[in-house]
Structure 1
């Protein structure tokens, strides 16, 4: 990659969309660090996301998440994966838009369900009918995700590498984000 990243690329979307996997490959392609806001929160809190949710509730978690994202956006440009609910807050969306560029990895329900159904690390899916919960979360969240700066469709047919290349293509149209070194 010869272009230089000028702003942090923030990967947004539903759990299971591939934000971390694609984000890591994207960071490799761009030659920049990859960071995950959930991992940063867990390190700072010395607790898992599930433990924070159980102990302090979602509102507390979202406040801390917004603080961590703001701190990471102030650092050197990188690829940043944020939790599925982070982009729902208008203030966080605005912050990301002003200081970085958001990329919504858009996937359909069956793809997402296939990717998350065997994982027990998703506190919001600890319900009697997790697939229905996932569908309801999609319905609620997609209007916010649609406000992302760029939208990249991801499908089961795309490899992680192909999806990352599609993100690079989308970023290439933004000279304010990916420009000459």
Structure 2
């Protein structure tokens, strides 16, 4: 959360000549409800079920950069699909960087708590090892402007991933 998945992912997709898919935005478009409303009405389990179904569908595609929600990796099926069908980049950002980027953002249901730092630290402790364990490429985006991060990531991804040639 706040690592730059959407902003950097969009720029990276543009640079690679691929389609960009933001799973949270796609889910909102599909349901006609925002992520906070889905959380409110269905709770986190309902949201995660919708997210998993969408990821299963999206990962059947090709020629795309996909940004998932930060908690998508909690589902073993999502992890399997992402690792089998994609090149997984773990965008790393410090809790301090996340706090700065999310300072005015009130749309994150998991951050609707009195102590945002504590919540982000707990999420990092829970999710960090999962991200690290499945990443083809860990990338530290901490303190980088979006354009700089995307360009550096393009260079790193380009050295490890090659777009499949058209058949």
- In the TM superposition, what whole-angstrom CA distance separates every residue of 1:31-68 from its partner, at most 9, and x where no partner exists? 11111000111111111100111100111111110111
Matches within 5 A, 1:22-171: 22-147=8-133, 148-156=135-143, 158-171=144-157
> In structure 2, what is the Cα distance between the partners aligned to 1:173 and 1:102?
14
Q: Determine which structure has the larger helix proportion and give its number.
A: 2
| 3-state secondary structure, aligned to 1:85 | helix
| 3-state secondary structure, aligned to 1:124 | helix
Structure 1's unaligned 5+ residue stretches are: 1-14
| 3-state secondary structure, aligned to 1:173 | helix
> In structure 1, what is the Cα distance between the partners aligned to 2:139 and 2:28?
28
Q: Determine which structure has the larger strand proportion and give its number.
A: 1
* Runs of 4+ with deviation above 2 angstroms: 172-175, 177-181
Structure with larger RCO (C-alpha < 8 A, sep 6+) = 1
> Given the two structures, how large is their TM-score scaled by the length of structure 2?
0.92
> Given the two structures, how large is their TM-score scaled by the length of structure 1?
0.85
> In structure 2, what is the Cα distance between the partners aligned to 1:40 and 1:180?
27
Structure 2's unaligned 5+ residue stretches are: none
> In structure 1, what is the Cα distance between the partners aligned to 2:150 and 2:74?
23
